[in-house]
Chains A and B, each alone.
Chain A
Amino acid sequence: MRILLALLGRELRSLVQSPIAGVVFCLFLALAGLNFYLILSAFARSQTPITLVEAFFNTTIFWYSFLAMFPLLTMRLYAEEFRQGTFELLQTAPVRDWQIVTAKFLGAYIFAVGLWLPTGLYFAIYAWITKEQAAPALGSYAGSYLLIALMAAFFVSIGCFASVLTRNQIVAAIVSYVMIAFVFYVGLLGFTMTNLGPKLREVVNYFSSAEHMYEFNRGLLNTRPVVFYLSLALLLQFLTHTVLQVRRWTR
């Protein structure tokens, strides 16, 4: 446990100190702020049937900035250590591979989820100024942030897996972005392809992050997405561990 904490501590520290994290942090908060501002302006102009929370988590700005942050945060996790040779230090220390995998995942995950917490302030400030709630019920907030946390687990895992495959950060970023975008756009097919059969639509919706968001925004907590994201995250961490083992034994 102490070993795991030491590994995690280093991951978090190096993330916080890295220039990439700073850039991600600033860009992300700027985009989230812009997103919130644009929605408020739109709401001020006309009546809409959706709540502020629903609107916030369903704009193009939200999805682009959300999907783009994972490749940036995870690309260096393994790739940089391979290139620097520091992985040799790590693998010749009495540390098990699963401890490395867990620490790297948790480091990026905590950072990614931590980035989202300040956005909760937007709704708090909104409620404070307008004396109106941004969403009808607490479940709406809880659902939204729970889904963020679930999706982050899956997308961070994709990033970890992409990074363990290469010693080049840029390649890792591209691979993970393509994988994340693929999952996301397949999920959008339910919205864009109007002639999908009902069976196929059901399958597509199972994958659809946008569809999950639509449900969770209203506080409709469904266990299927929970299982979906967590099992895929676990599978990808398992694959990452396998790649490490294969690298270790077939080098």
Chain B
Amino acid sequence: MIEAERLTKRYAGHTAVNELSFQVARGEIVGFLGPNGAGKTSTMRMLSCFLPPTAGRARVAGFDVMSQSLEVRRRLGYMPENTPLYPDMRVREFLSYRAAIRGLERTRAKRRLGEVLELCSLTDVGDRIIGQLSKGYRQRVGLADALLHEPELLILDEPTIGLDPQQIRAVRDIIRGLAGKHTVLLSTHILPEVEATCSRVIIIKRGRIAASGTAAELVAQSQIANEVRLELQAGADDVAARLTAVPGVAGVTTREADGEWSRFTLSAVPAADPRPEIARLAQERGWKLRELSRRTPGLEEVFVRLIHAEEEAA
């Protein structure tokens, strides 16, 4: 659905998007993650034909965003950052205007108007003036607008920013409901959100892809996944050396004392799980074991480490 090839956007003085290449298949919901200024909005604006790329190319549904921009825009529902809307219009009036400029025929426009109002829980505020609506409602008007013409591709820039938790859940449900029928590319920096809604995540950093894959893949790839913690009482035994000898253990990272107890953090060999072996060893040696766990980090931790690691390297 989306093919970006060495997509680049340079502004005077700095490069916002740097040779970004990625693909999004039909029906996927892809989350675009990155710290502020990573180039998320610039990328989305290029894909939605609002910004011309400085170099590289992008195709949406097989159409080039530069040379076949009208075809792309016909197939696209785009919700810009901060959801700009005409504050002087009423919700229903705005949506039927948007349907008309997209060339929806009258009967279909009317049907879709009812459907999106229902879907985005806007039926009650249909006759209110947009400028007087709260941020949460305005956000949903923007989403309703993007969905109006049943676009093949939805590009949503920060669809849940500034919403309260209940509204976030509502928007998330709407987006999840689109899976399969529509392709969705959304940006956010709320990580649990991505885990909850997206089938795939692209993390970008300084205009480049830092990591890409499903949330589970990203977690598995990170080093954190291979941390094993244990707490035990072992007397005078040479615990550290014996633990290191266990197959699957790469080394002891930290050791802290807590009274009679010792707390260890071990790093495991990628994809290995040394926990059963450690348990057996403890039984064998007569150690008292009170914790043996493997950390399953959230995407948030992976994200923070990824961004942080690059910053240190840079």
Q: Note all chain B residues with C-beta closer than 8 A to A91.
A: 49-50
For residue A121, CB closer than 8 A to chain B, the reply is no
Q: Is the CB of A6 within 8 A of B84?
A: no
Mask of A231-251 contacts with B, CB within 8 angstroms, 1/0: 000000000000000001111
Q: A94-B73, A251-B52 are in contact. Are A88 and B84 (CB under 8 A)?
A: yes
Q: Which positions 42-100 of chain B face chain A at CB distance < 8 Å?
A: 45, 48-52, 70, 73-74, 76, 78, 80, 82, 84-89, 97-98, 100
State the CA gap A52–B100 with chains docked (Å).
Answer: 47
Q: Is the CB of B100 within 8 A of A94?
A: no
State the CA gap A13–B129 with chains docked (Å).
Answer: 14
Q: Is the CB of B86 within 8 A of A86?
A: yes
Q: A85-B80, A86-B86 are in contact. Are A92 and B48 (CB under 8 A)?
A: yes
State the CA gap A240–B103 with chains docked (Å).
Answer: 24
Interchain nearest-CB distance for B45 vs A (Å) = 8
Mask of A81-99 contacts with B, CB within 8 angstroms, 1/0: 0001110111111111000
Chain A residue with the shortest CB-CB distance to B76: A92
For residue B314, CB closer than 8 A to chain A, the reply is no
Interchain nearest-CB distance for B170 vs A (Å) = 22
For residue A7, CB closer than 8 A to chain B, the reply is yes
For residue B102, CB closer than 8 A to chain A, the reply is yes
Q: Is the CB of A250 within 8 A of B52?
A: yes
Interchain nearest-CB distance for A101 vs B (Å) = 14
- Greatest chain A CB density within 10 A among B50, B74, B97, B101 is at B101
For residue A102, CB closer than 8 A to chain B, the reply is no
Secondary structure at chain A's binding surface: helix, strand, loop or mixed?
Answer: helix
Q: Note all chain B residues with C-beta closer than 8 A to A90.
A: 101
Q: Is the CB of B73 within 8 A of A93?
A: yes
State the CA gap A37–B282 with chains docked (Å).
Answer: 108
Interchain nearest-CB distance for B185 vs A (Å) = 14
Place the interface of chain A in its size category: 20 to 34
Q: Note all chain A residues with C-beta closer than 8 A to B158.
A: none
Secondary structure at chain B's binding surface: helix, strand, loop or mixed?
Answer: loop
Q: Is the CB of B49 within 8 A of A3?
A: no
Interchain nearest-CB distance for B49 vs A (Å) = 6
Q: A85-B82, A86-B84 are in contact. Are A92 and B103 (CB under 8 A)?
A: no
State the CA gap A85–B45 with chains docked (Å).
Answer: 13
Select A9's contact among B82, B97, B98, B145, beta carbons within 8 Å.
B97
Q: Is the CB of B97 within 8 A of A93?
A: no
Q: Note all chain B residues with C-beta closer than 8 A to A248.
A: 52
Q: Note all chain A residues with C-beta closer than 8 A to B85.
A: 86, 89
State the CA gap A85–B50 with chains docked (Å).
Answer: 12
Select A94's contact among B52, B70, B82, B89, beta carbons within 8 Å.
B70
Select A92's contact among B49, B52, B97, beta carbons within 8 Å.
B49
State the CA gap A138–B50 with chains docked (Å).
Answer: 52
Q: Note all chain B residues with C-beta closer than 8 A to A5.
A: 100
State the CA gap A17–B88 with chains docked (Å).
Answer: 8
Q: Which positions 190-207 of chain A face chain B at CB distance < 8 Å?
A: none
Q: Note all chain A residues with C-beta closer than 8 A to B103.
A: 2-3, 94
Q: A3-B103, A92-B78 are in contact. Are A84 and B84 (CB under 8 A)?
A: yes
| Cross-chain pairs A/B with CB under 8 angstroms, 8 sampled | A6-B100, A18-B88, A84-B86, A84-B87, A86-B84, A92-B80, A93-B73, A94-B102
Give 5 A-B pairs besides A84-B86, A92-B76 with Cβ atoms closer than 8 angstroms: A88-B45, A92-B49, A92-B78, A94-B101, A94-B102
Q: Which residues of A line the B interface, CB within 8 A?
A: 2-3, 5-7, 9-10, 13-14, 17-18, 84-86, 88-96, 248-251
Q: Which 6 pairs show the lowest CB-CB distances between chains A and B? A: A85-B84, A6-B100, A94-B73, A94-B74, A92-B78, A92-B48
